[in-house]
Every structure is written in structure tokens, then in C-alpha cells.
Amino acid sequence: MRRPERFAEAIKEQISEVVGFELDDPRLIAVTVTEVKLAPNMRDAKVFVLIDGDEKEINEAMKALHHAAPVVRSQVAMSLDLRHAPAIHFIRDTVEEKANRIDAILEELKNNGELVTED
């Protein structure tokens, strides 16, 4: 694994720790960090998060994450002993939601006899 990938993985672990255990915000209970992508210059980090709940709860959690980003950044810098931590940008990870939607559509087509599967 190259240095940027190792660095991204270390940042992901630290952000998961901070969001999961150190922030005292009930809106962040259902947040899971799924991936961190670093910019080539390692100054910005896109942090993809999966949030359980309805649309209102998801929006509230995203607001809380954006508000907490400076705190998370400073915690990551301290934990990883960094002089310059990357700017944290939280992004909602919708891959699982899209996969569930596709599964539901396929199931509906199968139940209506419009989809034939080879089992």
C-alpha cells in the first residue's frame, strides 16, 4: 500500500474514533465512516459517511458533522502528530442506499413475473 493510502486509512480510523466516541452529539450516533479520499497534495480529505435513519435524521447528522469538522480536524492532527492536518469535508455515502433500492426494484420485477432468474 502506498503512503497516501496508508495515510488515508489512518485518518479514517482516527475520524471514526472521534465521531464515534469523542463527540457528544446525539445526532451522530448512527454515523459510520466508510472511506477517506485524500487530494493529491494531501491538504483536503473527503470523508464519506453512511448514516442510518430517515431523511430528516440524515440531514441533521450532516449538519452536525459539518459543524464538528474543525474539531475533528484538530483531534486528527493531535492523534496522528501532524503539523498540518487535511481539511475535512464530510460527504454522504449513498452506495448502500442505491444498492438497496436496486435490490427492491429487482425483487418487485421478480414478484410481478417481469424478471426471470436462473436459480
Dihedral sign computed on CA atoms, order 76, 77, 80, 86: positive
How much of the chain exceeds pLDDT 90, in percent? Answer: 55
Report CA Rg, the chain: 18
Per-residue pLDDT band for 9 (boundaries 50, 70, 90) equals very high
For residues 87 and 45, the answer to whether their CB atoms sit within 8 Å is yes
Beta-bridge partners for 31: 51
pLDDT higher than threshold 70 for residue 119? no
pTM score over 0.85:
no
Q: What is the mean pLDDT of the chain?
A: 89
